[in-house]
Amino acid sequence: MILNLDTPVSLLPTVGKKKAELLAGLSISTISDLLTYYPRGYQDRSKLTPISDLKGKGRETVAGQSIRHIRFGKVKRAIISDGRGVANLMFFGGDPAKLLPIGAKVIVTGKAKRMAGKIFFSNFEYEVLKEELNSHLKIVPLYRLSGDFGRFGQRLFRKIIASAIDLYKEKLEDSIPLEVAEQMELISLSEAISNIHFPENWKKRKEARERIVFTELFLLQTALTINRCRTKIIHKNRLYSKRDGGELLESLPFSLTKSQERVILEIENDLSSPHPMNRLLHGDVGSGKTVVALWAGFKVASSGFQVAIMAPTEILADQHYLVAKRWLAPLGIEVGILRGGLPLSQQKKAKELIASGQIQVVIGTHSLISEDVKFSNLALCIIDEQHKFGVSQRQKLIEKVSGPADCLIMTATPIPRTLSLTLYGDMDVSTLNELPKGRGRIITAVRSDKNLPKIYSFIKEEIKKEKQAYFVYPAIEDSKERDYKSAIKHFEKVSLEFSETPVGLLHGRLKPEEKEEMMQRFAKGEIKILVSTTVIEVGIDVPQATIMVIEDAEKFGLSGLHQLRGRIGRGGFDSYCILITKEKIAQISSSNIRVELEEQDRVSVERIQAIKSITNGFELAEYDLKLRGAGELFGLRQHGLSELKLANIIWDTRLLFKARAVAAVLVADDPFLNKEAHLPLRDTIIRIFGKKMDLGFIR
């Protein structure tokens, strides 16, 4: 007899070696994997429809007896009757004579169609009845069966799941403490597993889902809360007190927003604390994160420690370097840069100055995490556009700190609160929700290719007024696989159209020094039109750039469109973001008329209408979360999302906030989960999150 949930599924009586190999394609290797492979939906077979009463609207369930087989070319039919009507079951593979021999009793669920007075099922599921009909009139689970296992179908998978539940549901160790289960009025784990797969009724299914969803969220929130508490007990053994950060703020040629002042105060409290800072700073495009980051850098560097600012692109690293040099050097702070595009002699020199401590604030790309980069006394790590780095890359930079690191993680992608709690619940979160004064208004318009002549004329008039424009394309060059407009091809087209205007080309395949030169020429106004890919999504500020033309706009995600739009409107002038898309999408997006569309076009229209009408990045992020879901938006590699098999942070916000609150109370009372009643919870959290969150310290 199999003894535990980590046992391979191959040892189940209903599986064996061959089926175990197919289950592996569904990422099912153990009994635990199998029991937590939850249904994607259900069929309600609890009510039968007489064949003669089929309406052909939605999925319906009928029962009958096979009475005849018909073959017409490659299509084969089984005729079933329930005594009141007959239905044709269309088989496009397999032989119904073998699958449904004459006299076989069958239950069928699908969408019926009436043609020439006859009833047809072409997309259906069926089950041969070997018992009384009443035993099949129930709620039946449906699973995602991709790959080779899909050939075996739902019936076999349900049989395997049922076998595992019968053998193991009583062996499930419940990690939820009794006090939490009673407080939340949760059903037992074994009852939940049974009813999530094979619900006795819809009420039982709801209770089962709530029990499992709360468990997933509670485990995650407890792990995040423990990790967050860890920073409150670690001592960093250093003080930043040499100079007042206000010295930098007084030297700036502008005033801070209230939002920036609030966030700087939050960071100052962190830096003044004896415990390390672990803070996420997020805000809308252009909300002024760089000022906040450089204030923190000045505070630390002027206290005799080093600061590392890591950016995902050389263009962004260059911008940070130029701004830091302009603001910090006059105050006596030595600023340096290290990136792969520099000549080897300059890289070598920079590494020597970093190792000696002469460079106090070093800005760079992935080059900063190279093994041969040594710091003298690194204390603060600032990571910009953090979602473009992997967890291991961030960790490599942090490990260069001698002792606990102060960390400031930044992103220009506003994060909805539910995502923030799920992905960054172990961090303190600061939000910049104001734009600095003097920003220009950005007008977003949706057009199609037929409007390009008018758009070109408009741009020519703006260029006469010393303004500049971007043309952005989703691909670098044409491809046979994807019908995307490309920057290289359209660079020639734009150059011909604006023959008297300097036009530049920028994309990811250019050498680093070529990218830098192109961006600098555009920033200086030597180039008036820049044809580019999304490489400018995070780029340098060009106050005179007031026009952003995005071609094939439906090919971009909402966040990408918003980031690109944020490249203009930075100089106090009215600016224009023009989205070029398919004629049909442009018409519907501009008129808001309702038209039947294919799924892909429908999503494109929703996205285009959203970017046109919503200018606030936080509102747009919430909308994008609902439109695409958290997994697609941030990727399941994030340590929180990857462990949520049933919970959905869009639908389950009530349970998310409840789980967070309950976890906070429990961890406050027992920070290391040492109480006997909490040991199963501790073991489960270490097994699931231990390596991902470095939770070994709670053992």
The answer to whether residue 143 is domain-embedded is no
306-310 and 378-383 beta bridge pairing:
parallel
Terminal-to-terminal C-alpha distance of the chain = 31
What is the pLDDT confidence band of residue 636, given thresholds at 50, 70 and 90? very low
CATH number at residue 65: 2.40.50.140
Domain-located, residue 672: no
Domain count, the chain: 3
Residue 289's alpha-carbon distances to 285, 372, 540, in angstroms, are: 9, 30, 14
Q: Are residues 526 and 607 in the same domain?
A: yes
Average pLDDT, the chain: 86
Q: Averaged over 653-672, what is the pLDDT?
A: 93
Is it the case that residue 320 has pLDDT exceeding 80? yes
CATH code at 396? Answer: 3.40.50.300
Answer yes or no: is 488 within a domain: yes
- Give the per-residue pLDDT at 532: 94
Of 102, 118, 137, the residue at which a domain comes to its end is 137
Q: What percent of the chain has pLDDT over 90?
A: 45
Here the tokens at position 265 are: 């105060």
Q: Which of 602, 633, 664 marks a domain boundary?
A: 633
Going by pLDDT thresholds of 50, 70 and 90, the confidence category of residue 80 is very high
Q: Which residue has the higher pLDDT, 194 or 419?
A: 194
Domain contains 214: no
Q: For the chain, percent helix, then strand, then coil, each to nearest 5?
A: 45, 20, 35
For residues 399 and 488, membership in a common domain is answered with: no
310 — phi, psi (to 5°)?
-105, 125
Q: Of 675, 669, 638, which is closest to residue 225 (Cα–Cα)?
A: 669
Nearest in space to 30 (alpha carbons), one of 202, 164, 141 = 164
- Tell me: do 476 and 622 sit in the same domain: yes
Q: Which of 279-288, 473-482, 500-509, 535-544 has the lowest mean pLDDT?
A: 535-544
Least reliable range by pLDDT among 235-249, 471-485, 657-671: 235-249
Instruction: Give domain status of residue 682, yes or no.
Output: no
- Check residue 1 and give its pLDDT: 46
Range of the domain at 598: 442-633
Residues 372 and 497 reside in one and the same domain: no
Q: Among 137, 161, 186, give the residue marking a domain's end.
A: 137
Asked if 399 and 452 sit in the same domain, the reply is no
Residue 539, pLDDT score: 62
pLDDT reported for residue 137: 65
CA distance 325 to 381: 18
**Same-domain pairing of 460 and 358:** no
| Residue 151: predicted pLDDT | 60
Q: Number of C-alpha atoms within 13 angstroms, CB side, residue 301?
A: 29
Question: Are 448 and 579 found together in one domain?
Answer: yes
How many CA atoms lie within 13 Å of 207's alpha carbon, on the beta-carbon side? 19
The answer to whether position 92 is within a domain reads: yes
Q: Let me know whether 488 and 403 are in one domain.
A: no
Q: What angle do CA 61, 63, 68 make, to 5 degrees?
A: 125
Higher pLDDT, 538 or 605: 605
pLDDT tens track for 245-257: 788 888 888 889 9
Predicted local confidence at residue 444, as pLDDT: 94
Asked if pLDDT for residue 696 goes beyond 60, the answer is no
Element (H, E) at 694: none
Q: Do 464 and 555 fall into the same domain?
A: yes
Domain contains 574: yes
Q: Are residues 468 and 380 in the same domain?
A: no
65 within some domain: yes
Q: Which tokens is 106 given?
A: 């069958």
354 plus 270 within the same structural domain: yes
Confidence band for 515, pLDDT divided at 50, 70 and 90 = confident
372 and 491 inside one domain: no
Confidence at 390, pLDDT banded by 50, 70, 90: low
**Structure tokens, 217:** 């969220």
